[in-house]
């Protein structure tokens, strides 16, 4: 039997950063794989039935879409972890999900087009675009409201942090 008491213990800082690094590495890997596989000539030439959807666009959709889902999960975890902190992270935790949404919604527009662009006529495309315009605008309003509600606490925490360093 191994003695587990002699193994080095992970510090709180290492634990707090490990989960974030893991998410970021997998997000980068999903982006790279989606792009790389999407550039392969076999994938470019292969289509799925009469839809004219290429395997390349499907690979890009899966890679980039996975990265967006992981980014959302990272933002959720970061908001939870930051809300447990006692410093500037606590008020900043209220800004993480709205900020992530401002980034994710317009990116999702482009990623979904990899699958849907050949299936939509111009009328449906305008509706699709406006759904994402409204979603992005709503996310920006959400971020602005959250910033307005928490800016004083964030500034106070920053001042307290600066004083403690002096």
Task: Provide the pLDDT confidence category of residue 5 given band limits of 50, 70 and 90.
Answer: low
Residues 89-98: tens digit of each pLDDT: 899 999 999 9
Task: Identify the three-state secondary structure at position 54.
Answer: strand
CA atoms of 132 and 90, how far apart (whole Å):
30
Q: What is the mean pLDDT of residues 6-12?
A: 48
Tokens 């910033």 correspond to what residue?
A: 147
Tell which wins on pLDDT, 165 or 159: 159
Task: Identify the three-state secondary structure at position 156.
Answer: helix
Tell which wins on pLDDT, 88 or 25: 25
Residue 49: its pLDDT value, please? 81
The closest alpha carbon to 52, from 115, 134, 129, belongs to 115
Residues 101-144: tens digit of each pLDDT: 999 999 999 999 999 988 888 899 999 999 999 999 999 999 99
Task: Identify the three-state secondary structure at position 8.
Answer: coil
pTM for the structure as a whole: 0.82
Residues 18-73: tens digit of each pLDDT: 899 999 999 999 999 999 999 999 999 998 887 788 999 999 999 999 999 999 99
């Amino acid at each position: 039997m191994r003695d587990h008491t002699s193994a080095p213990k992970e510090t709180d800082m290492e634990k707090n950063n490990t989960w974030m690094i893991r998410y970021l590495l997998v997000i980068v890997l999903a982006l790279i794989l989606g792009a790389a596989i999407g550039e392969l000539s076999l994938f470019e030439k292969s289509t799925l039935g009469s839809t004219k959807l290429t395997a390349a666009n499907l690979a890009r959709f899966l890679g980039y879409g996975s990265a967006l889902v992981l980014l959302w999960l990272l933002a959720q975890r970061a908001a939870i972890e930051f809300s447990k902190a006692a410093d500037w992270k606590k008020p900043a935790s209220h800004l993480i999900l709205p900020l992530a949404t401002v980034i994710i919604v317009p990116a999702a527009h482009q990623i979904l087009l990899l699958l849907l662009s050949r299936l939509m006529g111009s009328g449906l495309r305008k509706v699709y675009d406006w759904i994402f315009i409204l979603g992005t605008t709503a996310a920006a309003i959400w971020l602005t409201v959250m910033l307005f509600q928490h800016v004083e606490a964030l500034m106070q925490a920053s001042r307290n942090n600066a004083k403690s360093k002096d």
